[in-house]
Amino acid sequence: MRTETNQQVIPAPVHERDQIAEHVREILRLLGEDTTRDGLVDTPLRVAKMYEEMLGGMRMDPESVLSATFDETAQGPVIVSDITFYSLCEHHMVPFFGKAHVAYLPSQTIVGISKIARLVDVFARRLQVQERMTEQIVDTIDRVLKPHGVMALIDAEHTCMCARGIRKPGSRTITVATRGEYQHNADLRREFLQMIGRG
């Protein structure tokens, strides 16, 4: 049997977008910019719209993304790999981006594979740290689908390390989270890593 509920997305009110734009304009002024010059006149509103898009996951319920489920089982893991994502680091509000790889061992319920990618997107489109995002993905799948096990690996590049501070472009950060059988079975973890090309 298939169950489904509507995914709840709450758009940002227009007055909030206007307020953000005003604050961006003030930041530009404090940095010494002329906010009336051609290149910057529309920048505050563009930045406000960008934040609304990049942080849209803050207004979404991640569990609703997994609400369309099917009463099916599978003998092996379901793996969705190379899910491209972009997020904003909450420490400097600059992007980090990369690939997420997610696997789960179904018990009695499966979900459309695109929904795994959507779940990654919901958590990526928030002010984030990579460690928390990895845990949130596996926790949500574990809670909603109740699989035998779930595992996620995220490989990302952080512009706060590349463009400022220590300035080490090309450096990667890898985080892993596991639940259930993936937490206790090293062979399953090894299989997952081999299947995503990291064996």
**Residues in binding site:** 89, 92, 160
Q: Are 80 and 101 in contact (CB under 8 A)?
A: yes
Phi-psi region of 176 (alpha: psi -120 to 50; beta: other; left: phi over 0): beta
DSSP letter, residue 166: T
Residue 187's H or E segment, with its range, is helix 186-195
Q: Are 44 and 161 in contact (CB under 8 A)?
A: no
Which residue ranges are tagged as binding site for Zn(2+)? 89, 92, 160
Antiparallel, parallel or unpaired: β 78-89 and 127-128: parallel
Residues marked active site are found at 89-92, 130, 158, 160
Sheet containing 2-3: order of strands: 2-3, 69-70, 110-111
89: helix, strand or coil: strand
The gap from C-alpha 106 to its chain's centroid, in whole angstroms, comes to 22
Residue 163's H or E segment, with its range, is none
Residue 141's H or E segment, with its range, is helix 130-145
